[in-house]
């Protein structure tokens, strides 16, 4: 952890620090700053499913109950004293509708990229684009697996409102001057 960050944190004089989704062991220099300690919000019922990707591991194991734990942070991952747990049942009925898998390029690229990250495995991400074949316009369906976010004017060589190939990506202009790069 950078000394500048720790110095700024000391100046704030926090009574308590809270972390979430932090997958590193915090140094003692950090943990010693807040007098009430540091608390981590962890997305499982600790001590079960400690470490990274607890939600995915729980789903993989087919658990029927999960929850969120509030735990004091110590110099070991997810090993501090448990302050509280909130429990809830895992509903085994899939809530994602396959129709949610379609991309709409009238949204900003970051929104679409996040959707690709969330749904690439299931139900998969698809996009409909107009293409031309034998002089006739056809609607093509693309399956999208990997994307990255770009800024329209830096990704595309000029103001282009059409889908374009640039380097290793198929680039879709999106809302807010952004561009979604579909990578190979």
Domain ranges for the chain: 3-89, 98-183
- Long-range contacts, stretch 154-161, CB < 8 angstroms, 24+ apart: 155/179, 155/181
Question: Is the distance from CB of 110 to CB of 178 less than 8 angstroms?
Answer: yes
Q: Which helix (H) or strand (E) holds 16?
A: none
Structure pTM? 0.56
CATH class of residue range 98-183: alpha beta
Q: What is the pLDDT of residues 83-141, one digit of tens each?
A: 999 999 988 776 777 888 899 889 999 999 999 988 887 788 999 888 777 888 888 88
Output the CATH code of domain 3-89.
3.40.50.170
- Tell me whether domains 3-89 and 98-183 share a fold: no
Q: What is the pLDDT of residues 53-77, one digit of tens each?
A: 898 888 888 899 999 999 999 998 8
């Amino acid at each position: 952890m950078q000394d500048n960050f720790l110095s700024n944190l000391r100046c704030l004089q926090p009574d308590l620090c809270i972390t979430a989704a932090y997958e590193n062991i915090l140094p003692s220099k950090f943990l010693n700053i807040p007098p009430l300690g540091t608390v981590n919000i962890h997305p499982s019922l600790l001590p079960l499913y400690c470490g990274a990707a607890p939600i995915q591991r729980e789903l993989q194991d087919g658990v029927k109950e999960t929850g969120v734990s509030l735990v004091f942070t110590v110099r070991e991952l997810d090993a501090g004293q448990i302050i509280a747990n909130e429990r809830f049942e895992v509903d085994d009925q899939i809530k994602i509708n396959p129709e949610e898998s379609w991309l709409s390029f009238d949204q900003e690229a970051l929104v679409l990229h996040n959707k690709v990250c969330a749904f690439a495995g299931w139900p998969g991400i698809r996009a409909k684009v107009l293409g031309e074949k034998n002089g006739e316009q056809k609607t093509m369906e693309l399956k999208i697996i990997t994307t990255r976010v770009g800024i329209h004017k830096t990704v595309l060589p000029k103001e282009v409102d059409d889908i374009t190939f640039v380097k290793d990506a198929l680039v879709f202009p999106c809302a807010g001057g952004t561009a979604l790069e579909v990578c190979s």
